[in-house]
Structure formats: C-alpha cells, structure tokens
Amino acid sequence: MAKYKLTYFDFDGGRAEPIRIAFHAAGIEFEDERISFADFGQMRGGTRFSCVPVLEIDGTAVTQSNAMCRFVGKMAGLYPEDALQALYCDEAMGAIEDLLHHAVQTFGLEGEELKAAREKLVDGWLSIYIKGLDELLTRGGGDYFADKRMTVADLKVYVQTKSLLDGTLDHVPTDIVERLAPGLVGHAKRIESDPIVIAYYASRK
C-alpha cells in the first residue's frame, strides 16, 4: 500500500477538504499534515508552484487539487467512469478553481479597500459563478453535478458553498447563495447529510 501525505492549512475547508473526505471514503490511510500560515511561509519556496495542497505519494510530491480530487475520487468510487459524466464532474471542479482564483485577489486587502474589492466580487465574479454552478447542478438533474450521485465535484462545491453560508469572507452577504441559487443551498444540505460526509466528520471528533 502506498504511503500518502497531504499537506494543507489547518482548517476544515479549502482545496484539501474534498481530498481528505475522499481519502476517508476510500478507507485509505493518509497523513493529514495541517500547517499554519507561518509554517507555509517557511515551506512555500520548497513547493513546486509555491502553493498547497501538496500530496506526497511514497515521497513523490504532486500538486493541483483537482488532479488530486480525481485521483483519490477514483479510488473512493466518487468519480464517474462514464466520459461525459466525468467531464461534467471536472467542469464543476474547474469552475470552483476559477472562482477561488478571483476571490483570492481580495485577500490581504484591508479596510475600505477590502470592502470595495469584496463588493465588486459579489456583484461580479461571485454572482457569475454561483449562477453558473446552479446551471451545472440543474443540468445534472438538480441533486448532484454528475452521474446522478455524489462525486468529488459535489464535495468540492459543497465545501465552498458552506464557506459562503458560514460568512467566511467579510463583506460577502451570507444570503448570497440563497438569493441567487437556492438549489445550491439544498445541494449543500444534501452533501452535508450524506453518510460519507457524516462519517468523515465523525472521524475528526
């Protein structure tokens, strides 16, 4: 059995969270290396693209969270075998990556500058991506993004919807998802109450 080590920030969210859940769903042991932002400052120069998550497989480092989602998702039975459904799954995960790319531009700002940037984000890219993801969910049949069952795409979108509902980003109204795409709120509840997700968080207690 290969040895897996996943390095990411020390919170239950972000780009590593769907991978952690998928590892647990697959019943595969992995080292869940959780680092502080200060630790990251020390190690970032040693990472391939100056970012995390990094997955080490028998000591060999791999980057790119969506690639990791697919890899672990396949082992967990949480990635479609059908090519078209796999495409749908990838599209939703890619959309989340793009959204994070826009959101991250507002990180590190403060005061009025932060407020203005977040308001622009809310009216612009965030609205575009929430509505687009809602369309993808509808295309998938309304309950899941692909394959009419939970896949890593659902885990990835759920993690970000939850972050918005929890008000993680200052100046982003917590009701934005409900207002623009109530289906995504229902989706988050569906994924949160999936036995796979419940079992993962129970294992964290």
Ligand X SMILES: N[C@@H](CCC(=O)N[C@@H](CS)C(=O)NCC(=O)O)C(=O)O
CB 161 within 8 A of CB 188: yes
Select from 59-67, 85-93, 132-140, 176-184 the region that touches ligand X (CB under 6 A): 59-67
Select from 64-72, 118-126, 130-138, 169-177 the region that touches ligand X (CB under 6 A): 64-72
Min dist. Cβ of residue 40 to ligand X (A): 7
**Computed over its alpha carbons, how large is the radius of gyration of the chain?**
17
d(CA 165, CA 185): 8
Name which of residues 79 to 108 contact ligand X (CB under 6 A): 97
How close are the terminal C-alpha atoms of the chain, in Å? Answer: 26
CB 169 within 8 A of CB 118: yes
Amino acid at 154: D
Q: Which of 6, 52, 177, 181 binds ligand X (CB under 6 A)?
A: 52
Q: Which of 23, 24, 65, 136 binds ligand X (CB under 6 A)?
A: 65
Asked if 13 touches ligand X (CB under 6 A), the answer is no
Interface residue list for ligand X (CB under 6 A): 14-15, 51-53, 63-66, 97
